[in-house]
Structure formats: structure tokens, C-alpha cells
Structure 1
Amino acid sequence: MSKQVAEVGTLFLHGGDGEYAVVVRRDGERLLHGRLDLKETDAGPRPGRFRIKDGDDEIPRRPEQFVEMARRASRIRISEQTPRAGREEIEAMLAGYQLDAKQVRTCRVCAGKGRYSPLTSETAIKADDEYICPDCAKRELEREANYRGLRSGARGRLEELLLEVGDLERVANLLSGQLDPDLTKFDEISATTDEIDLVSTRDLDVHGELKSRLQAFDELLPVQSLAVRNGLLEGRDQLVVSATATGKTLVGELAGIDRALKGEGKMLFLVPLVALANQKHEDFEADYGDVLDVTIRVGASRIRDDGNRFDPDADVIVGTYEGIDHALRTGKDLGDIGSVVIDEVHTLGEEERGHRLDGLVSRLKHYCETAGSDTQWVYLSATVGNAPELAGQLDAQLIEFEERPVPIERHVTFADGSEKVDIENKLVRRAFDAKSSKGYRGQTIVFTNSRRRCHEISRRLDYESAPYHAGLDYGQRKRVERQFGEQELAAVVTTAALAAGVDFPASQVIFDSLAMGIEWLNVQEFEQMLGRAGRPDYHDQGTVYLLVDPDGTYHNSMEMSEDEVAFKLLKGEMEPVITGYDETAAIEETLANITVAGRKAKRLNDRMVGEVPTKHALGKLIEYEFIDGFEPTPLGRAITEHFLEPSEAFFMLDAIRSGESPDEIVAGIELRDEDR
């Protein structure tokens, strides 16, 4: 005891009704925790029983030892949470020994557990009708987070908010979907305007028909001006990287439509999705159908290609990657190609589709070279993390423009699947009830992960809304687009898979899910989707809400939970576009290149963005009897025309030889896909 007394720093007292907790601290560490009872004497209150806590035990000490300890203390503090009568009793007891004490604001929870935690205006956290210390508030929040299954990334965010706002209840309410904007707001992406010397549309050296259509605008937008000033109209190949809604599409049109009108070759405008191809086809038909023949090629038929709607002699061909690739693999004559626009070129980095786009570009370049076409290539993307490297691999000039036309606020709140729709309803109502300074109501895009969920959410929203996904027919989608454009709908609910094709002038984007099907979104996909919030001609700012299901997943194969993914996406850097090749991808693309280019296949492989193990792939193609020399066998040709992987082909062959029906074969393929 003497050693402890010699080292006394702060003596702290807390309690009431004659019994008080005693804490001794020095240099931030607790040296002693005990209990003191006071007794009434003729001279006033004096120490009665004194016990020192040792684990769960209490060791009795003489009352005089408390007095000796108090005299050696550098300071004595009494908690304000001690009742007034108790404080007066302690002060009277200490005065009997000519000792002074000061009352301090402390954490009641800590004091009750033998901890001395003084509070200041900066450290006090409001909890119900009292204030507690940050450590106790964090423990309370931790208990609530554990109950909700919240993971590490979200916990860190909540702790930041707790220290920032100093109110435990307000922060804990986020876990049940509260929409306190001061707390849900994660950050704001400021509007940025680069100083660009804009190009006057009157000064453009383009065909008169195109120029007349551009006269509605006095000047090109910044990214368009950059492209023109850097040789777009002189035939320079370009990789254009710029945020959503900054006018990238017109860059491709300026090059391709101009060439088509001047008789310098047709334009191919290629996109990853059928829905997007349909939309672009209608846009081109409406804008240029009176002066150019416009057709579409969407490659839906791996089984039968009757060529309906597709006119290979048209001036403008809008197609999916697969649709044009199928034409190449089957030897279709696409005529003289003056320009190729590859939209969403960051698809090169996708695991499933990246190698196919890589192969398509190489095969299409071979076709153009063989046909003697002087083809210009324009690649478009909103999201590329390694733009200079990718531009070099594509042998294109980089046009990178980082302007964001309106600011975007990003918000996060937490809710499980059953709570999310109620929150979405509030957000949709709030947005639609407000108007921007430009006179437009706020409208919302809700992104979710399944078609069924699209319909469920849309049915439960109070204001007019509509589902929008690839399962709707063309007419249904166009009706939704028209209604949204005319502000008849407060919201559209769409799948993440259609993010690239959704072109609605929305002020607000809500993420009902951070998954695309059963896969988590990556940073590129997430950035592209949130970029749909806010249009410069309609809105003053964009708003994005992530509704995060704590500990939520959408398939048992998902290793992370939705709250972990949310903060990874919010804090994530744009990922580089890298095309990877495993054995299956290398075999598929090498076989397709042999089918299209024969002995020149190695050259096609060598100039692809990804590194293709050509020698190994050739060995496997020979082993599988997919090629004979540098020609595909009938089996190899069937496989490449129908975009089959080798394992799929062998499965189908075995099933056919076993006498299985077509329905059984299809069911077997579906089961294989699910297992994978």
C-alpha cells in the first residue's frame, strides 16, 4: 500500500448515500479502485469502511489509509454525477482534514465501473438524457453494431460520425435506416470545370448535313472540343475518358457520321448490351435516318442467324460486341468501314467478357486491313484507372477530361431488405416534391440486382414509377423512357446490369443493392452508376444514396458483406483495365482468330491488349481436334460460331452421343453454369 500511496496522482470520488467509488490514477493509468463508506461523528462525516478491489475480491483496509492517500494526492476530484448531498458530504469529510476537492464533469458509466473519465465539451457524447465518454459510447455503438451484424468498414464510419456529432442515439439510428442528412452524408464530389478553349460549331469542317444538326449549339462541350482540337476530324484514333453525361457519344458521332456522309466508309457503333444497342439504334435513326441508312446487329442468334433487320450495306451499323464478332466469325461482308466506335471500352477489364472484346477489336482491325479500309477508331469510357497505359495498348491518343458538370452528394444509411423500400419511398417522394432552379422535378433511378426486385420496389412506391430491365420488350422500355423524360414518372427501378444503357435525366440515384446479380459491383461499375445523378441542363446537384444491408449478401459465394463492399466502393480508386487470359479464354480467342485470319492468327493474338499464351492455346486446339493446321475443323468452326467454351462443347457432344434430348442438354448446361 505504501508504494501505491507514494505514487498517488489524481484521487477521484463518485457515488452517494454514504458509499463512494474511489479511483486513483496517475499518468493515464488506474493504480487503485476501491470503495469507501462514510460515517457520521460528532466532528462531522469521517471515513468508515475502506476496501480495495482485487479482481472480484474486496480487501479491507484501515480508514486511516484512505486519509493518508488523500493527503498525498496531487488533486482530488468529485464527479458532478454524485448527488448534491453526496458531494456536500465528501467535501465536509475532506475539509475535516484541511483538504480541498473540485467537482468535475465525468462519465457516469465509467465512474460506476471504477474508471475516472473527465468530460469536456469536445469529448462528451450525448446518450439519452446524459453525457458519457467516447469509449463508453463506442462500446454502446459496438453492441448495436454486433446486433445488426455490421462489419469493419461500416463500424469505422459510424465511430467517425459518433466523435463528429457527439450524439449516440442519432448515430445508432442510422442502423435502422434513419435519413438524417447530416449523418448519412459521406462526402461531396465537387463540380469541376476545366478551362477548355471551346470549339464553335460554325468552325467545324464537317459535312453540311451534320453541321446543320449541330447548329442548335453554339459551341461543342469541353470533351468534344478537346477531341476535335487533337485531331478527331483528321482521322486520329482516340481513347476518350470522361465522366457520364459529359458528351462522349458525340465525339464518336463527329468522326463516324461525318465520314459516312462524305462517302468515306460506314460507321460501326458497338456497345456491350442489346438494350443499349436498341437505344442507340433508335437515336441514330431519329437523328440521321433521313440522310443515312441505319441498321442494327445484336448477335442474339448463336443457333440461327436469319439476318432480319440487319443490312450489311447500311451507312451506320449499331451492334453489340457479340453481334459484330459473330458476323466476323461467320465470314459476313461488312463492306468498307470508315470508323469504329467502341462504347464502354472498359469492358476489356471484365473477367467474363473482357477477352471477347479484346479478340473482337483485333479481328475487326484485321478485317479492315484486309479490306483496305482507312478506318478510324474511337474508344469511349467513363471509368479507366490506367488510361495512359490503355491508350498505348490500343495505339490511340488519350483524350482525358475530368470535369464533373454538377456536384454530387454521396450518402450512406443502413437497412435490411425489408426496410429498404420504405426508405426508397421517402427519398423518391422528397426528390420529386422539389424542383431545381431550372424548373425540373427531382427524379430517381433505383438500381437493384434482379428483375423481380425491380417490380417489387416499383409496386411499393407511392409516386408513379416503372421497372426498366432487359426482360421488357422494346416498346415497353421506350414508353418508360418517354414517360420519365416528360416527368410523368418520379422513379425508374432498373437492374445494375443495365447501368451502361440507362440514359435518364435523374437527379438522384439510389443503390438498393450493391450487387449485379450475384456479384458485387466493382469500382468502375459503381462510379458509372452514381454518375447518372445530376445533369447540368436539369439539376443543381446530384444525390446518391447507398442503402446498405449490414452483414448482407445475395449469394453464399460472396465473401464480403454489403457494408464492407459499400465503404470499399466509396473509398476505392478506379481499377486499371487489364484483360486477363486463362486457358479457356486463350483457346476461345485463338480459335476465333484462326477462323477469321488463318495463318495470321498469331499476329492477331500478339496485338491484343491482354497477353495470350498462343503456343499453349495452339497445342490444346490441336489436341481437342478443333483445328487442322491453320484451319478450323467442322467442330472447331461450330464452336467458335456459337461462342462455346471447350468444356461446354465436350459436354454437349457427350450428351448428344448419349442420346439426350435438347431439353435435357439445355438443363444440363444451366446446372453446370450454376455450379460454376
Structure 2
Amino acid sequence: MTIPSRNYFIVLNKSPTKKKELIFDVNFFYLKSYKEKRNKLSYVNTPFFKGTVVFGLDIKNKMRPIKFSKTDENEKSIPINPRLFKKFVLAKENRFVALSSQTDRAEYDPILEMLQNFQFNKKKIKNITFCKSCLDEKRFTLLDHRNQIVSFKNDIICSDCALELVLKQIQMTGLIPSGERISPKLKNFFKHMILKFRKVQKVLTAFKADFNPVKHREITIYDVEKSTSVSKKYLNLRINDIDISKDFKKLLETLRIDTLLPIQAISIEKGLLSKEKDQLIMAPTSGGKTLIGELAGVSKLLKNKNNKMLYLVPIVALANIRADEFSKKYKILNLKTVKKIGESLLEKSDSIFLEDLADADMIVATYEAIDYILRSGNKDQLGEISTIIIDEIQVLIDSDRGFLLDGFIARLKSIFHGSQYLYLSATIGEPKALAEKLNCELVQYNNRPVPIERHLILCLNENMKNRNILRLVRAAYSQTSKYGYKGQSIIFTNTRKKCESISAYLSKRGMKVRAYHSGLTNEERKLIEMEFLSQRISGVVATAALAAGVDLPASQVIFESLAMGINWLTVAEFEQMLGRAGRLKKHELGYAYLLVEPGKVYSPKMKETEENIAIRLLNGKIKDYELEPNEDKSLTELLAYISMFIKGVEYEDIYKFYDLIINNNYDFDYFLKKLNSLKLLRVKENFMHKINHLGRSIAKSFLTIEKSLEIIDKLKNEKVKSVLDLALELKPIRNVYLSRKVVAELSKNVNMKYFSNNFFSASVLSLMNAEYVKKK
């Protein structure tokens, strides 16, 4: 046996079977790299030599190796000359001798004495720790202090062995079904917890039946989204220092707004008022984006009474909130606010719908309400719009409404050339590229006004979710911030029915909570909002679909479900909802809790399960604004533009519109020819394109051209029994539910991973066919 030419190190560990004798296990490892000053090393974890060494006194009464043996592949011991051990220890290739920390320090006294007799350099004697579980399996996993995990038996083990132990215990609880494949993302989450606590017992505390997340926040916490430092110049800009009218300043002072928030100061610096720059404004929810729009819009209204401000939002609930807010706030400045929402179109004729626009100073509207006015050829009725604020610009990434918003913005730009455009968003991917596409200045501030603690809680079933919601809501409401506000909660779930059932569950247990969803009337919503703002209720249970319209100052957001209807939330939607936790000057800290049921899906079509979605959302990247090309939707937006002009529009102007669209990945001339061939418009002299009655009807319907022509074909060829059948086909009745009793009865007879209580769900409809039902 010769000394190798490569660098190595020697590890000595007391043999567990020979406690009274001076018998030590010895292993030699090749070094890949070794940084002595930093005490960092990389090594081949399979020893090139393993064996035992016995120490004793020689004739001079000095400690020496008296027996030395090698253990071969068959675990057979082969004697070796003990003098070779000394040669291996003193060889220059041996960089250090390591003493395993799993052995009592006193046990090493004979070895230390021997090394001193060998005149071995003390600095080359080190203490190291191996994973006990790996050692038992004849594997050698060296651990630094950051990777040492304490097992049930107080042994030091590695994170991989700890993970194996944790998963085994969790499967025993039934939280994860035994034998079911555990996703890599969920494994990473467990490992995250293991490395955070470094104690297996501490990690497993979170999975006990009586676990209380309120008492163990340190266990469920995933991370804290903190604010980073920001330049002082953005923290100290006062209202008195900006160029707005005295009356406007006075109004803001009465509202206790004397200093601008950082995003507002950055916007001012980048020319919001001085140069009336178009801006894409990105800041977290409640970061102060809305006031930026008001500063620009109201300033111009006060300078010129003929001007109007247009504030656009994606949903009715948000239109109601902003219209009420602006109406009350700016009444003192004699500014009239008018609200326009799509619902009104069903109740009023075009003339009645338009009549109050002439006297309006501020128009708060849904995208579709104003777009309808444009598509109807009534663009002149809007008047002189000096400021256009488009809230929730991240709708651009929505596969259904993204094309509509893209076309709508381009239509506005094509007629209101001199207006100032402000695009507001808390969440959108590739903001620099989008700002370039929109031809505006990017104003971005990522700091949350209030830090948010994000928590992940795994729940065995829906009952456990409800119990945890009750604990969290009760605990939050019992606390009062330093600003004097109680901790109130917004619980997000995926259906209206669950809104009602969760709020009923909490109310029965003494917590005043209201269901808050799109099925309520505007008056009912206002009443709930007043109860929330006056702190008479501890929270609301809202559908994810209403997230953009839930502008309530909650300290805590709880995700009972990570779905919106039967679709998983996107990262952008999740961030939007997450941002509702914590409000500036009301709370010191916001809390967000994700209640996750491993293996849970909300539709048979869902390929991923809830725990995978949770990790993806917490670590996710928001997708960018560009959509997959869709000829039908793009063609419809082009038709909608031409529909704005009663007398027709020239080719050059249509091309300018095409150039303004973000999603313009199509052949422009081919599209124009196609509209003509479909007989939706005709080309007059001088290349003037004029829409016909059918074309405008399609544009005003907001249906795509393809869908509209399909409807015409069905009516012409009597493929539908009645107009009512056609209406139901276009907008089916979906909210029909079975009672819990019926669901429980049906569930007995089927073996399904997912069973919905919606009458029209796949799981219920499959039971209509007797062959799917097992015989009792």
C-alpha cells in the first residue's frame, strides 16, 4: 500500500461497538479543493481507504498505532503494518486529520497525545461532523454548521435524511397519501423548513392535528417582503412644493396628505406635471398610484373647465369605488363625477346612456362602457379628454380581455392625440419593454408601503382550512395597530357559494364576517364596505374574480383557495390579491396566509395540484404583456376601430391604428381585404373604408367576428329553437348547486379525486350516465 500522489485527509471516529478499547474507524478521502483560511473544502465522498486502527503504549510508554487493518468490499478485515498509518499521517499529501464530532472529545485524548509525539502540526487537526444516518448506511456526508439537522434521537443528520424522515411522518398523518408522488416543488418547501429550523421535531409540529398557526407563526412563515432603502429626496417632497393650484393643495391638506409617497415623487420628477408626460406607473397595491392620476387630471380640469378626465377600470366594483370616492372628494372643487358601466347598456338607450357626459368633469368607467361609445360612432360625445388614466393595465396579459384592452387603448390614442395617458399597475411582466411599446415613461417603485409576511399552511382537508381561518381572523381582530386600527381580514375563495358557506361558518362561531362577491347589488356592497371601514366587522370573504374591486384596508389576506373559479390563479392575479394585506398609516405589518390542501384540484381538467401552485405563486415570475396571436380577435379589434367613424375612415388612418396596437402580428392588408370579403365594410372612393350596419352591430356586441357569423348562420338556417336558447348558449347559466346532502349521497357511489357541488360540473354530469355509477 503506497501513499497516493493526490491530496487527501484522514477522518478518525470512535468505533461504536468497541467503546472500552482504543479502537477507531479510519477513512481516507481525496480532496478536490481546500481553502484553509476559509476552512472550505470539496471532496470525493467515497473513501479510497477504510479500516480500523488500534492505539496502545509501546515499550517506551508512548501512544502508538499497534494494529492497523483495511476493510475490503466484502467487509473483511485485512491486517496492515501499523507503521504505515504513521507514514500516511505525516505525508505531505495529507492536508489534515479530522476528528468526528460525533465522538466524545475525551475519547480523542490518546490520539492527540500520539499526534503530539509525531510532532504533527496542531493547526492540521480539525473537528468535523458527518450525517449519522448516512454513516449508518456506510455513506460519508460531511456537514458544516448550517446543514446540521437534529433528528428525533438528537443525532446530527443531513437535510436529505431529514427530508426523508419528515415525508415519512407526514404520510403517516394522511396529509400526503402514502405512495403518491411528491412534487419537487413541495419537497423544496419541506427542505426550506428543515434548513430554517434545523430540527425535525420543530418542522413536524406544523402537521399535528391541533396545530395553531397563530401561536406558531415562526413555523409557517415562508418569507417577508420588506422594503429596500430609497433616496431621501423621494421621501420628503411636500404637497406645497409641487405645481398645483392652491385650492387643490388645500383640499389635499384637509385629507391629511401633506407629503407625497415615493412613487408619486418619482412620477413628479419624471415630468408628470411639468411636461405632462405619458407614464406607465408600477407600484404595489396601496402604493399611491391613483393619486398620481388625480394630480395630473384634476390640475388640468382646474386650469381649463372644458377639459375632462377619464378614469378607466376593468370591473364594475372598482368603478363604483372610484366614482364614489371622486364624487365626495372633489365636490368641494365643483367638479362633477359621472359613472359609466357596461350594465347600464342593457337598461338604457344610447341617447340616455350618453346624455350626462356633456356636464361631466370626471368620467369613471369600465373599459367596455367607453369602448361601446367609441364603437357606436359616438366618440365626439366624450368631449375634450385631457387626461386618460387606465387602471389595472395588467389586464393586457389576460387571454380573454387582453386583445380588447389593447385595441381599446389604440382606439383612444387614435382620436385623443393630445391627451396625457397614465397606465397604472401593481403587477406586470417586462415593464420596460411595455413602456416602450406604449411610448411612455416608466415610473417604477417596487417597495411595498407596508412589509408583508407570507405564510404557507398545509391542511389535511377543508374542515382544517376553516378552523385555521377562524383562528387567524379571530387573532387579527383582537389586535389593534399603533394607528388605532383593528386587524381585519379578506378571505379569498374561488366561488360565490364558498363565500357564503365560509362566512356562515365564521359567523356561527362569533366572528362578524360578510360574503362579498359580484352577486351582490351595488347597495349591498356599499353597506358591507361601510361596515368594514367602520371596523364593525372582522372581515369579508370574497371571490378571487372580485379581487381588483376589493379595495378595503385589511391587515391580513387569507387564500382559502388558489383558484379563480375552475382555473388556477396566475402570478399577476396572486400578487394583486396579496397586495391587499397591510395599509399605509393603518398597519405596521401585513399578513398573507396560503392555506393549501396537498393533492387538491378544483376541476378534473387541472393538471397541477394546489401545493405545486402555491410554491409557483410564491416564487413566480409574472408573464409579459404579449399574447399568443389570434386572428379572429385581432380582426375584430380592427373592425371595432373602423366602427368609430360614421362617414368612414381613410386607409392611412387605419394603418396608424394598426401601428398603435401591441399585438399586431398579422398582415394588415390581408385583414382589410378579409373584412371587405366578409361584407362587413365597403371601400369607397379615395380608399375610404366605411362600415355597414352588420359590421357595426358585430362591433357593438363585443363578440368576435367568427362567433357573430356563427350566430347569424344558426338563425338563418334555424339551427336553434329560439333566441332564448341562443342567449343561454352565449352566456350559460352556471351557478346551479347541489345541496351538501345530495353531494354526500352521490359521493358514496363514485371514486373520484375531485367532486364538485356545481350541477354542471364534469363530476356531476358523468353521473347522468348510469354506467359510471357503481351498483350499491
**Smaller-chain TM-score range?**
0.7 to 0.9
* Alpha-carbon spacing, 1:10–1:481, altered in 2? closer, same or farther (3 Å): same
Deviations, residues 399-451 of structure 1 (Å, cap 9, x unaligned): 22334322222222222451222112211122222222222221112222222
Report the secondary structure of 1:188's partner residue. strand
Partner of 2:552: 504
Task: Give the percent of matched residue pairs that are identical in Structure 1 and Structure 2.
Answer: 33
Whole-angstrom distance in 2 between the partners of 1:539 and 1:77: 53
Report the secondary structure of 1:318's partner residue. strand
Report the secondary structure of 1:535's partner residue. coil
> Is 1:131 matched up with 2:155?
yes
Deviations, residues 342-374 of structure 1 (Å, cap 9, x unaligned): 1112222222111111111121223335xxxx4
1:627 pairs, out of 674, 678, 681, with 681
* Alpha-carbon spacing, 1:25–1:499, altered in 2? closer, same or farther (3 Å): same
Quick one: which amino acid aligns to residue 339 of structure 2? I
> Is 1:202 matched up with 2:240?
yes
Report the secondary structure of 1:482's partner residue. helix
* Alpha-carbon spacing, 1:15–1:631, altered in 2? closer, same or farther (3 Å): farther
* Alpha-carbon spacing, 1:260–1:416, altered in 2? closer, same or farther (3 Å): farther
Deviations, residues 43-69 of structure 1 (Å, cap 9, x unaligned): xxxxxxxxx999xxxx897xxx57779
Quick one: which amino acid aligns to residue 389 of structure 1? A
Deviation at 1:23, TM superposition (A): 8.8
Partner of 1:221: 261
Quick one: which amino acid aligns to residue 408 of structure 2? L
Residues 288-299 of structure 1 aligned to structure 2 (within 5 Å): 288-289=330-331, 291-299=334-342
Partner of 1:212: 250
Whole-angstrom distance in 1 between the partners of 2:582 and 2:11: 59
Deviations, residues 68-124 of structure 1 (Å, cap 9, x unaligned): 799998999999899xxxx9xxxxxxxxxxxxxxxx998775566566779897655
Report the secondary structure of 2:388's partner residue. strand
Partner of 2:366: 320
Whole-angstrom distance in 2 between the partners of 1:458 and 1:282: 26
2:708 pairs, out of 627, 646, 649, with 649
Residues 20-419 of structure 1 aligned to structure 2 (within 5 Å): 26-27=28-29, 28-29=45-46, 65=77, 125-131=149-155, 133-134=157-158, 135-143=160-168, 147-148=176-177, 150-175=182-207, 179=213, 180-192=216-228, 193-196=230-233, 198-207=236-245, 209-216=247-254, 217-234=257-274, 235-261=276-302, 262-289=304-331, 291-300=334-343, 305-306=348-349, 311-313=356-358, 314-332=360-378, 333-369=381-417, 374-418=418-462, 419=464
Deviations, residues 135-184 of structure 1 (Å, cap 9, x unaligned): 43222234356635642112112113213322223323445676332232
Whole-angstrom distance in 2 between the partners of 1:580 and 1:554: 26
Deviation at 1:296, TM superposition (A): 1.3
* Alpha-carbon spacing, 1:412–1:654, altered in 2? closer, same or farther (3 Å): same
Whole-angstrom distance in 1 between the partners of 2:488 and 2:536: 10
Deviations, residues 641-666 of structure 1 (Å, cap 9, x unaligned): 10112332233223323242123223
Relative CO higher for 1 or 2, CA cutoff 8 Å, sep ≥ 6? 1
Whole-angstrom distance in 1 between the partners of 2:266 and 2:98: 71
Partner of 2:740: none
Partner of 1:607: 660
> Is 1:452 matched up with 2:452?
no
Whole-angstrom distance in 1 between the partners of 2:315 and 2:411: 20
* Alpha-carbon spacing, 1:173–1:442, altered in 2? closer, same or farther (3 Å): same
* Alpha-carbon spacing, 1:105–1:202, altered in 2? closer, same or farther (3 Å): closer
* Alpha-carbon spacing, 1:266–1:123, altered in 2? closer, same or farther (3 Å): closer
* Alpha-carbon spacing, 1:583–1:23, altered in 2? closer, same or farther (3 Å): farther
> Is 1:432 matched up with 2:477?
yes
CA RMSD of aligned residues (A): 4.2
Deviations, residues 529-568 of structure 1 (Å, cap 9, x unaligned): 2222212211111122222232333223333332222222
Whole-angstrom distance in 2 between the partners of 1:557 and 1:344: 29
Deviations, residues 593-633 of structure 1 (Å, cap 9, x unaligned): 12124333222111122224223433432343333332333
Quick one: which amino acid aligns to residue 330 of structure 1? S
For the Cα contact (< 8 Å) 1:23–1:114, is it kept in 2?
no
Deviation at 1:200, TM superposition (A): 3.4
Deviation at 1:302, TM superposition (A): 6.6
Deviation at 1:258, TM superposition (A): 2.8
* Alpha-carbon spacing, 1:432–1:67, altered in 2? closer, same or farther (3 Å): farther
For the Cα contact (< 8 Å) 1:303–1:642, is it kept in 2?
no
Quick one: which amino acid aligns to residue 512 of structure 1? E
Whole-angstrom distance in 2 between the partners of 1:16 and 1:660: 91
Residues 527-566 of structure 1 aligned to structure 2 (within 5 Å): 527-566=575-614
Partner of 1:39: none
Whole-angstrom distance in 1 between the partners of 2:432 and 2:162: 48
* Alpha-carbon spacing, 1:587–1:511, altered in 2? closer, same or farther (3 Å): same
> Is 1:422 matched up with 2:422?
no
Normalising by structure 1, we get a TM-score of: 0.82
* Alpha-carbon spacing, 1:215–1:661, altered in 2? closer, same or farther (3 Å): same
Quick one: which amino acid aligns to residue 263 of structure 1? K
Quick one: which amino acid aligns to residue 729 of structure 2? G
* Alpha-carbon spacing, 1:278–1:119, altered in 2? closer, same or farther (3 Å): closer
Report the secondary structure of 2:155's partner residue. strand
Deviation at 1:574, TM superposition (A): 4.1
Report the secondary structure of 2:675's partner residue. helix
What is the aligned residue count?
634
Whole-angstrom distance in 1 between the partners of 2:583 and 2:515: 21
Whole-angstrom distance in 1 between the partners of 2:330 and 2:402: 31
For the Cα contact (< 8 Å) 1:416–1:552, is it kept in 2?
no
Whole-angstrom distance in 2 between the partners of 1:631 and 1:351: 29
For the Cα contact (< 8 Å) 2:11–2:100, is it kept in 1?
no
Whole-angstrom distance in 2 between the partners of 1:525 and 1:321: 18
* Alpha-carbon spacing, 1:627–1:156, altered in 2? closer, same or farther (3 Å): same
Whole-angstrom distance in 1 between the partners of 2:470 and 2:608: 27
Residues 448-597 of structure 1 aligned to structure 2 (within 5 Å): 448-461=493-506, 462=509, 463-597=511-645
For the Cα contact (< 8 Å) 2:279–2:421, is it kept in 1?
yes
